[in-house]
Chains A and B, each alone.
Chain A
Amino acid sequence: MTALPRTDTGTGAGISTGAGTGTDAGAHSGTDSRPDAGAHSGADAHSATDPAAAASPPPPPHRFPRTTLLTAGLTLALLAGCLLSAGLGAYRIPLGDVLGSLLHHLHLGGAELDRVGESVLWNVRLPRVVLALLVGSSLGCAGALMQGVFGNPLAEPGVIGISSGAAVGAVGAIALGLGFLGMWTVPACAFATGLLTVLVVYTLSRSGGRTEVVTLILTGIAVNAFAGALIGLFLFFADNAQVSQITFWQLGSLSGAVWPKVLAVLPCAVAGLAVAPCYARKLDLLALGERPARHLGVDVERLRVVLILVVALLTAAAVAVAGVISFVGLLVPHLLRMAAGPGHRFLIPGSALGGALVLVVADLAARTVAQPAELPLGVLTALFGSPFFFWLLRRTRRKQGGWA
Chain B
Amino acid sequence: MSRGRIPALGTWFAKRARTLPAPVAVGTAYARADGLGVRLGGRTVLDGIDLEVTAGQVLALVGPNGAGKSTLLAALAADLPATTGGVRIDGRPATAWTAPELALRRAVLPQSAALSFPFTVADVVRMGRAPWAGTPGEDEDEAAVAEAMAATEVTGFAGRPFSALSGGERARVALARVLSQRAPLLLLDEPTAALDLRHQELVLRLCRERAAAGAAVAVVLHDLGLAAAYADRAALLHGGRIAAQGPPGEVFGAELLSRVYRQPVEVIGHPRTGVPLVMPLRET
Contacts and interface: CB of A to CB of B under 8 A. Distances in A.
Contacts of B112: 19, 22, 25, 28-29, 32-34
Given A36-B166, A48-B153, A56-B157, A342 B118 contact: yes
Interface in A30-85: 32-37, 39-41, 43-45, 47-49, 51-52, 54-56, 58-59
B118 A14 contact: yes
Interface string B95-122: 0001111111011101111111111101
A118 B169 CA distance: 64
Nearest to A283: B117
Nearest to B15: A297
A55 B156 contact: yes
B212 interface: no
B118 A51 contact: no
Interface in A332-357: 337, 341-343
A19 B99 contact: no
B123 A343 contact: yes
B258 interface: no
B181 A296 contact: yes
B157 A54 contact: yes
A152 interface: yes
Interface stretch (B190-198, B223-231, B270-278): B190-198
Contacts of B246: none
A35 B112 CA distance: 10
A32 B127 CA distance: 23
A194 interface: no
A362 interface: no
Contacts of A96: none
Contact of A40 (B12, B122, B156, B166): B166
Interface of B is mostly: helix
A243 interface: no
Nearest to A44: B168
Interface in A257-308: 277-282, 284-289, 291-292, 294-300
Interface in B1-41: 9-10, 12-14
Given A5-B158, A34-B171, A296-B103, A152 B79 contact: no
Contact of B10 (A7, A47, A278, A341): A278
B115 A287 contact: yes
A181 interface: no
B162 interface: yes
B114 A58 contact: no
B74 interface: yes
A23 B117 CA distance: 12
Interface residues of A, number: 74
Contacts, number: 222
B113 A19 contact: yes
B108 A288 contact: no
Contact of B119 (A287, A294, A298): A287
A17 interface: yes
A37 B130 contact: no
A280 B128 CA distance: 15
Contacts of B167: 33-37, 40
B119 A284 contact: yes
Nearest to A151: B116
Contacts of B13: 278-279
A368 interface: no
B116 A17 contact: yes
Nearest to A289: B114
A103 interface: no
Nearest to A299: B99
B10 A280 contact: yes
A373 interface: no
B222 interface: no
Tell me which of B79, B114, B115, B120 has the highest count of chain A C-beta atoms within 10 A of its own C-beta: B114
A297 B164 contact: no
B115 A19 contact: yes
A47 B153 contact: yes
Given A13-B161, A21-B114, A54 B120 contact: no
B77 A295 contact: yes
Nearest to A58: B159
A311 B131 CA distance: 26
A245 interface: no
A151 B130 CA distance: 19
B191 to A, nearest CB: 12
Given A56-B156, A56-B157, A295-B108, A44 B196 contact: yes
A296 B130 contact: yes
Tell me which of A22, A37, A294 has the highest count of chain B C-beta atoms within 10 A of its own C-beta: A37
Interface stretch (B54-62, B84-92, B142-150): B142-150
Nearest to A45: B196
Contact of A4 (B79, B158, B193): B158
Given A13-B161, A35-B167, A281-B133, A287 B116 contact: yes
Contacts of A158: none
Contacts of B70: 26, 29
Contacts of A1: 146, 150, 155
Nearest to B106: A295
Tell me which of B99, B112, B170 has the highest count of chain A C-beta atoms within 10 A of its own C-beta: B112
Given A285-B127, A297-B131, A291 B115 contact: no
A281 B162 CA distance: 18
A165 interface: no
Contacts of A34: 112, 167-168, 171, 193-194
Tell me which of B13, B120, B193 has the highest count of chain A C-beta atoms within 10 A of its own C-beta: B120
Contacts of A23: 114, 116
B128 A296 contact: yes
5 contacts: A29-B70, A54-B156, A281-B130, A287-B115, A295-B108
The 5 closest A-B pairs by CB, nearest first: A297-B103, A33-B112, A40-B166, A25-B110, A342-B117
Given A281-B130, A299-B14, A300-B99, 13 more contacts: A4-B122, A7-B123, A25-B110, A25-B112, A25-B113, A32-B112, A36-B167, A47-B169, A288-B124, A289-B110, A295-B77, A297-B103, A337-B117
